[in-house]
Amino acid sequence: MLTVTALSKRYTPDKPSLEAVDLQADVGTITAVIGPSGAGKTTLLRSLNQLLKDDEGQVCLDDVDLRQLSKRDLQKARRNIGMIFQNYNLIDALTVLENVLHGCLGAKSTLAGMFAHYTAEEKQEALKLIDEMGLSDFAYTACKHLSGGQKQRVGIARALMQHPKMMLCDEPIASLDPKSAQMVMTILRRLADDKGLIVVVNLHQVDIATEFADHIVALNHGRKVFDGVPADLQAAQIQAIYA
Ligand SMILES: Nc1ncnc2c1ncn2[C@@H]1O[C@H](COP(=O)(O)OP(=O)(O)OP(=O)(O)O)[C@@H](O)[C@H]1O
């Protein structure tokens, strides 16, 4: 379980970008974070992975407060957290298989990582994940030849190579056409349902959030202004969130 308590972040002293945000996310669920541009969605996601410093509050994954860990222990704990991004963060010149294998670099020694030495088991696992993402025909294709939706599925497979407990997805469908967006969200739903992952996803599309999420958190000016199930999010509240 993910438990966030009183999480706050200021990039500049006079303006909070997150203010005392609480949230809980269970295993096997999708939490969608919505809100207008500048509301603090990316700041929240990056704080969950402790990529931002100088924040306040608690971020507990299975009762371990990530904010209290030493640098070394945080590095280890981060292996439990996969991330996917709006711009995919792939190496375009490398093949799908090579990009997916990069997902296990965090667990390797610096030397093995430098020489990109992967075991037969790791290659087999990467190929299985590529197959699960419907990309077997592209395993040896350079990522630069893929569509946005295909690239995002490579990003998901790469994150799964870490065997994460939680996936943080920062606007993963913002650059995709509606069909690819549905496909990516369906995959995230499957990861929650079948693999029991905690999925936290920043979204601009309220309709997609209500279709796929178990739980919606809305932010505005860094404050939580809604926290509940999709059925409780009424039109008037949506208007207020985006006002
Ligand atoms: N590195 C930074 N330095 C200073 N201020 C920042 C920085 N990053 C974000 N902010 C500010 O923090 C607030 C929240 O930004 P954030 O990117 O988290 O919002 P968001 O909801 O993800 O927006 P969007 O939907 O446009 O991506 C904004 O006012 C933004 O200007």
DSSP character string of 53-103:
-SEEEEEEETTEEGGGS-HHHHHHHHTTEEEEETT----TTSBHHHHHHGG
Going by C-alpha positions, the residue among 202, 196, 195 that lies closest to residue 31 is 202
DSSP 8-class letter at 142? B
Q: Which position has the higher pLDDT, 12 or 31?
A: 31
What is the reported pLDDT for 105?
Answer: 84
What is the reported pLDDT for 13?
Answer: 86
Atom of ligand 1 lying closest to residue 45 CA: 18
Taking CA atoms only, the protein residue closest to ligand 1 atom 12 is 17
What is the reported pLDDT for 63?
Answer: 87
Angle at 10 between CA 84 and CA 22, to 5 degrees: 65
Ligand 1, pocket residues at CB < 6 Å = 11, 17, 35, 37-43
Give 120-174 pLDDT, tens digit per residue.
999 999 999 999 999 999 999 999 999 999 999 999 999 999 999 999 999 999 9
The answer on pLDDT for 51 being more than 90 is no
Q: Where are the domains of the chain?
A: 1-80+164-243, 88-163
- Is 169 in a helix, a strand, or coil? strand
What CATH superfamily classification does 1-80+164-243 receive? P-loop containing nucleotide triphosphate hydrolases (3.40.50.300)
Let me know: does 59 contact 48? Beta carbons within 8 Å: yes
- Is 189 in a helix, a strand, or coil? helix
Q: How many CB atoms lie within 10 A of CB 175?
A: 16
Determine the distance separating the centroid of ligand 1 and the alpha carbon of 16, expressed in angstroms.
10
Q: Look up the ipTM and state it.
A: 0.97
Determine the distance separating the centroid of ligand 1 and the alpha carbon of 106, expressed in angstroms.
28
Tokens of 3: 């438990």
pTM of the model: 0.94
Determine the distance separating the centroid of ligand 1 and the alpha carbon of 222, expressed in angstroms.
9
**What band does 109 get if pLDDT is binned at 50, 70 and 90?**
low
